[in-house]
Amino acid sequence: MPLVPAPDMLAAARAGGYALGYFESWDSYSLEAVLAAAEAENAPVIVGFGATMLADEWLDAGGIEFLGASGRALLEGCRIPASFLLNETHTLEQAVRGVAAGFNFVMIDSHRWPVPEARDAVAKLV
């Protein structure tokens, strides 16, 4: 099943009266386990990887592309609606690379940035 845009998934959950969970994975094993549980329950799901605990050096040296490729490989055979999030990137550039790497949902962790800088980065990303 192809990845579903997160706004579409949220609208379906609201219309259907059910919760939509996001489950952050730290490796392929945990992502695979979440997908197996969601499929067993026939429950749409948002899955992804978090960048907050990862070093910029690793992310910028191909880590984002590695996470995207490994996650997409697991999601290819998914039988339920799913969205794929790269959560809490450290920079706008990392978020943009996440989209190019196959994540259909990205988020920048800008809570420590000056508000004007955060607003500008999010506007550029959107």
* Number of independent structural domains in the chain: 1
Query: Does 110 reside within a domain?
Result: yes
pLDDT in tens, 22-57: 999 988 899 999 999 999 999 999 999 999 888 999
Residue 1 lies in a domain: no
Q: Quote the distance between the C-alpha of residue 34 and its chain's center.
A: 13
Cβ density class 5-26: b for 16+ within 10 Å, e for less: ebeebeeeeeeeeeebeebbbe
Average pLDDT score over residue span 3-22 = 95
| Residue 48: inside a domain | yes
Closest CA to 123 of 90, 95, 83: 95
Domain hosting 25: range is 6-13+21-90+105-125
pLDDT in tens, 77-125: 999 999 999 999 999 999 999 999 999 999 999 989 999 999 999 999 9
Question: According to the model, what pLDDT value does residue 72 have?
Answer: 95
Q: What is the CATH number of the domain that holds 62?
A: 3.40.50
Residue 32 domain-assigned (yes or no)? yes
pTM: 0.91
